Amino acid sequence: MSITRIVGGTIRKTAKGNIDIRATGGDLTLHATQNNNWSAGEGIYYEDYEPSHPDDKMDNKVELTLNLFFDGTGNNKTNIEAREKNTTPYHRNSNKKDDSYTANYTNVARMYDAVSKKAPKQLNIYIEGVGTADLKSDDKLPKGIAQSVGFWSTGIHDKMKRGCELAAEKVKKAANGKPIDLITINVYGFSRGAATARHFLSITNQTHTTSIDLLGFFNLPGYFWPIRHPKNTNENESSYPDNIEIKWGYFGIYLIKNKIFEVGEVRFNFVGLYDTVSSHGFVHYNDVKDLGLDAIKKVKMVFQLAADDEYRENFDLTNIDSAGLKGLTLTLPGVHSDIGGSYLDIDVETSVVYEEKHTEIRDRHYKPTPYNTKRAEAFKALLIKEGWYQENELTILVQQDLGKIQLVGERVLYSTYDKIALNKMIMVSKQFGVVYDDFLEKQKTTISDPFVSDIFDQLTVYSQTVMLHRNAAIKEGKPITQYHKESKQISYLNYIKEDDLKKLRAYYLHWSVKADMFGFDPRFGDMLPIEKRKREIQNG
């Protein structure tokens, strides 16, 4: 925007050719205390204004929007595409069973695909999930360990740095050498990708001050090779400043590496989270502090979709309470990936839903005492009553030689329920300025299953209630503790029909617990009803 003010003087515009005056998006008003004279040899012409593209503006500074999409644990859209195209990297690097090549796309990947690539100065960056790398094998350690610890440069911190690097490269290309007035940042994530998104926000609080030598060289934190500062063009000042303040942590470091020295402001706008699970390292109670997961409090809006039926030991949910009234959580039926996506459609799910381990006991004739299956039978009956399984889908296996009893479930499930969470996330993000491609958004979000569409309508009444409660809390200036307490009392269970919920569990919702697999085992060893099968919540 450009404004010219003439105080106590005269403005004259003279041209041998044409003078074209336009008003952008409004009226053109000319005032003069005496005469307003217009003359032309062949007439004066007025035209409707057609806004110019931002790249055509004479303004020397630019404003950019960054959308960073951090995919879920073990999820990688590039590797899925390699499988779909039947490429050599897929055949060489995939285990063909349960890795990042064989899964379906997550809601984070779908959002990245649907976001507009043509919106002026909106830049979009996709970062593959923890435990994966593009067109390479996933971490070789057992799945539960590899994804928690993140060896081989594929952990939360590594993915955060990769996001900073890719974002800075995009900014450099878009700015095209111009100074930057404003960068508006939106971040999205699923699972440990949600934790990575929050960790990214945390590191942008960091500031480094580095000395500059007489020749203009300085070193970035953690890098050996020096960088040269642009020379001062003002002859009345020193050629180089004495030092440089590097803001925004690794993001700022990568901006400087890309020779971007002029950024007026970085504004943190919207954070969209699918079921934040950090599980960072070998102990998880300190993840919020270690990763700075409460840095969400500095953004304009935080929206989290949480899975109500997840209760695996290593899948604690990190809430968004630190965001206060700037945060909104919807807790939906389903497990972790029912919310974040990645399940294949019409796929066979096999799960050891319950396991007992026994020490062999022999009778007085030294014969093994048969195991008692009453507990497994009781849990089987409970799951059938709750609607998760039908009678013929659950089998009790007695493995006396291995010292265990297992309750194994096997069924065929649809994956279309995850579109409900996707629709909710896109709807809210659009309210905060995120621009999507109309065709691709419709392609990714359309729910063609009539039953899931009906469930969507029922859950929409729940989500509207939660949103109205937040709006009222803001208007009334409610204390944060009261807002959180009241929010947690609003449950989707009061808005969904019981028979529909049981049908949803039977044909759409997955059973994520694998009682025989480290890292995927249940938080409880007891047989508990659904209202008590809940995971740990970490305050973030």
User: What pLDDT digit, counting tens, does each position of 276-324 carry?
Assistant: 998 775 555 678 889 999 999 999 999 999 999 999 999 999 999 999 9
- CB atoms under 10 Å from CB of 246, counted, come to 21
Phi, psi of 522 (to 5 degrees): -75, 155
pLDDT for residue 233: 84
DSSP string, 362-394: B-TTSPBPPPP-HHHHHHHHHHHHHTS--GGGE
Phi/psi of residue 129, each to 5°? -75, 160
Token pair 């999205």 is at which residue? 188
- Per-residue pLDDT, 402: 86
Nearest C-alpha neighbor of 507 from the set 446, 442, 417: 417
Q: What is the pLDDT of residue 34?
A: 56
Angle at 525 between CA 522 and CA 531, to 5 degrees: 70
Bridge pairing between strands 227-228 and 217-218? antiparallel
User: Could you give the angle at the alpha carbon of 130 between the alpha carbons of 126 and 136, nearest 5°?
Assistant: 80
8 A C-beta contact, residue 514 and residue 521: yes
pLDDT given at position 4: 46
Please tell me the predicted confidence (pLDDT) of residue 18: 57
- Helix, coil or strand: residue 166: helix
pTM of this prediction exceeds 0.85? yes
- Those residues of the chain that have pLDDT short of 50 are 1-9, 42-49, 51, 144, 146-147, 150-151
Q: DSSP letter string over 486-518?
A: HHTT--GGGTS-HHHHHHHHHHT------TTST
The per-residue pLDDT for 142 is: 53
Cα separation, 82 vs 76, in Å, equals 10
Nearest to 70 by CA among 134, 203, 162, 181: 162
**First CA to last CA distance, the chain:** 41
CA 481 to chain centre: 26
Compute how many other C-beta atoms are within 10 angstroms of the C-beta atom of residue 384: 15
